[in-house]
């Protein structure tokens, strides 16, 4: 049996959709770790969502840490999760443990544009529309 096929994405079956997301290669999973842009960024770049990167400032929209804003510490591409510096719990020992959050629960407030290639890909969206 195949490990991955692009044709699974066309299926309506929830089982095949889960299989597609779980077995997708990292270059496709990178695009899955995307979050919505704020209204200001949406007007500026003419796109609704964009892949999250370390250093982006995000707002947590769902869950226990709803309303907290912070910078992205790490992106777990294989797990399709993100850690934010403002979303941490305290263990019994007293150490702070970062919570992994789904990117769909985040809103990008400010982009980390230190990478010129990322700026080019954002500019591409503006020209397309």
By CB atoms closer than 10 A (0-12, 13-18, 19+), residue 118 is: middle
Kindly state the percentage of the chain with pLDDT values over 70: 96
- Could you tell me the pLDDT band of residue 128, with boundaries at 50, 70 and 90? low
The count of C-alpha atoms lying within 13 angstroms of the C-alpha of 72, restricted to the half-sphere facing its C-beta, is: 26
> Quick check: pTM over 0.85?
yes
**pLDDT tens by residue, 6-48:** 888 888 999 988 989 999 999 999 999 999 999 999 999 999 9
Identify the residue whose tokens are 């049996």. Answer: 1
Query: Would you say domain 14-128 falls under CATH 2.30.30.30?
Result: yes
Tokens coding 39: 């209204």
C-alpha 129/C-alpha 127 separation (Å) is: 6
| 88 strand-pairing partners | 98
The mean predicted confidence, pLDDT, of the chain is 92
Q: Taking 90 as the threshold, does the pLDDT of residue 126 lie above it?
A: no
C-alpha 104/C-alpha 60 separation (Å) is: 9
């Amino acid at each position: 049996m195949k490990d991955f096929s692009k044709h699974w994405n066309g299926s309506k079956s929830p089982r095949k959709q889960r299989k597609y997301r779980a077995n997708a290669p990292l270059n496709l999973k990178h695009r899955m770790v995307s979050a919505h842009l704020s209204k200001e960024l949406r007007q500026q770049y003419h796109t609704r969502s964009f892949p999250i990167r370390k250093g982006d400032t995000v707002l947590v929209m769902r869950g226990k840490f709803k309303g907290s804003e912070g910078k992205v510490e790490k992106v777990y591409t294989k797990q399709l999760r993100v850690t934010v510096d403002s979303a941490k719990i305290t263990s019994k020992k007293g150490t702070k443990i970062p919570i992994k959050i789904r990117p769909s629960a985040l809103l990008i407030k400010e982009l980390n544009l230190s990478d010129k290639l990322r700026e080019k890909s954002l500019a591409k969206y503006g020209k397309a529309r």
